[in-house]
Amino acid sequence: MREYLLTLCITAAVTYLLTGPVRKFAIVAGAMPEIRARDVHREPTPRLGGIAMFFGLCAGLLVAAHLENLNEVFSSSNEPRALLSGAALIWLIGVLDDKFEIDALIKLGGQMIAAGVMVMQGLTILWLPVPGVGLVALTQWQGTLLTVALVVITINAVNFVDGLDGLAAGMVCIAAAAFFMYAYRIWYGYGLEAAAPATLFSAILMGMCLGFLPHNMHPARIFMGDSGSMLIGLVLAAGAISITGQVDPDAMNLYSERATVHQTVPVYIPLLLPLTIIAVPAADLVLAIVRRTWRGQSPFAADRGHLHHRLLEIGHSHSRAVLIMYFWSALIAFGALAYSVKSASMWIVLGIVFLSFIGLVLLLLPRFTPRAPRWAEAFVPPRYRRRAVLEPVPATAYMAGEEPQPDAGRPRVGAGVSGVNGATAIGSRAHLDRREAESSR
């Protein structure tokens, strides 16, 4: 575990430190497109954040190759080299798209070529675990087509969800964390060395996202662009392909006679978990394709109908929309992970149902602003603090369009708060003193 944590930290540090210089380079290179109709941000923001993420990936693989307990992954498997080859190709296509806006079909072809490069180097689905049957071997063409399809779907799902500051990086980081725990359990708990590459890929992917998020949270100073979204989508797909199509589930003793339906669920987890970690982006992808084809548009035509756009339309703020998407991604991914560990526990099912209810309540209350308790106000943004009692400010000042003085908003005990724009109905202290002086004349 220490080697994985070290790899994660090195990847995050390299990504974080390089994002600042990459931002300056993007500004100089002119990778700051004009604001489009579907964009949410209001000012031109540089792209090319994927450059820093790619070098973070390279640093993570380089460090892991020199660690004692992880270098066996490179000596016994060609999957890390296959990942690096495919990532380099998809990253180059993304950089060109961030700068020159290449056609969507060209990007789709590049994604398929990158997936094909990984297949040629051994990162492919060799078989499928079928409950009750065992392993079903795939022919070379079947494995290649299934691998390419999974890579293309994952890349475009992550790319489609990249519409708000910090959304794609955060959701992929959550998915990678859940997948890391699942892969590490298979590798360490069952002693299956074939799960080690997927565990390493997940740790590096978490580092890439965590290192980039501080620069990308709202208001974002830089976007990852297609060079970043397609890159992390490919790394996420590579981990799913590695553990689904090359780890033998029979060694985990999953296939056995079951008496009830809920006891058979763990058998399906190797098939379901790679899908649950991208459930929200995949749902957004499917809805976008159906919506655009129904309107007679191209499936690749951009619009403002994504899930995060709908959250903004019903009244959620930018930050809350991102947090809601985080919540649902974590609930689905970690819910499936918990159920795979102990499916017979009714508490896990009840917990998932309860959290789903909470998520629906938050989803349907866009204007509800929670207030932090007094002791926690110093640790939360000002909008979540309890409304302070302000010093009275003349209502006439607000009516005349004047800005209140800096001292006018300090808390004062015993002063009521009401009136126009937060101004009080009574006048300020100076105004009261002037009235008393006039009445005494």
Name the pTM for this structure: 0.74
Phi, psi of 414 (to 5 degrees): 90, 0
The enclosing H or E element of 136 equals strand 134-137
The distance from CA 107 to its chain's CA centroid, rounded to whole angstroms, is 22
Residue 326 lies in a domain: yes
| Domain boundaries, position 393 | 387-439
Predicted pLDDT at 89: 94
* One domain for residues 321 and 406: no
* One domain for residues 403 and 297: no
* One domain for residues 46 and 154: yes
- The label of the residue with tokens 């998520």 reads 359
* One domain for residues 170 and 239: yes
Decide: helix, strand or coil at residue 135. Answer: strand
Residue 376 lies in a domain: no
Q: Is position 159 annotated in a ligand binding site?
A: yes
Residue 370 lies in a domain: no
Predicted pLDDT at 211: 94
Total number of domains constituting the chain: 2
Predicted pLDDT at 118: 93
CB atoms under 10 Å from CB of 370, counted, come to 9
The distance from CA 290 to its chain's CA centroid, rounded to whole angstroms, is 23
Residue 373 lies in a domain: no
Residue 165 lies in a domain: yes
C-alpha span between 385 and 369 (Å, rounded): 10
Predicted pLDDT at 302: 65
Q: Which residues contact 364 (CB under 8 A, 6 or more apart)?
A: none
Predicted pLDDT at 423: 40
* One domain for residues 209 and 157: yes
Residue 143 lies in a domain: yes
* One domain for residues 287 and 407: no
Report the candidate in 243, 273, 239 with the shortest Cα–Cα distance to residue 343: 273
* One domain for residues 428 and 356: no
* One domain for residues 207 and 266: yes
Predicted pLDDT at 56: 95
Residue 378 lies in a domain: no
C-alpha span between 319 and 200 (Å, rounded): 31
DSSP characters for 394-438?
-HHHHHTTPPPPGGGGSB-TT----SGGG--SS--HHHHHHHHHH
- The label of the residue with tokens 């999957």 reads 79
Predicted pLDDT at 353: 82
Q: What is the mean pLDDT of each run of 10 residues along the chain (441 residues)?
A: 91 95 90 63 78 95 89 86 94 91 88 93 81 73 90 87 83 89 80 82 94 88 90 91 71 49 49 66 76 75 67 74 85 81 70 82 69 76 60 46 46 40 42 49 48
* One domain for residues 421 and 359: no
Report the candidate in 332, 367, 329 with the shortest Cα–Cα distance to residue 209: 329
* One domain for residues 220 and 272: yes
* One domain for residues 414 and 282: no
Task: State the burial class of residue 18 (Cβ atoms within 10 Å of its Cβ: 0-12, 13-18, 19+).
Answer: buried
Spell out the alpha helix ranges (H) of 343-394.
346-364
Task: State the burial class of residue 175 (Cβ atoms within 10 Å of its Cβ: 0-12, 13-18, 19+).
Answer: buried
Task: State the burial class of residue 357 (Cβ atoms within 10 Å of its Cβ: 0-12, 13-18, 19+).
Answer: exposed
Q: Is position 226 annotated in a ligand binding site?
A: yes
Residue 55 lies in a domain: yes
Predicted pLDDT at 287: 79
The distance from CA 211 to its chain's CA centroid, rounded to whole angstroms, is 13
C-alpha span between 267 and 261 (Å, rounded): 11
* One domain for residues 119 and 160: yes
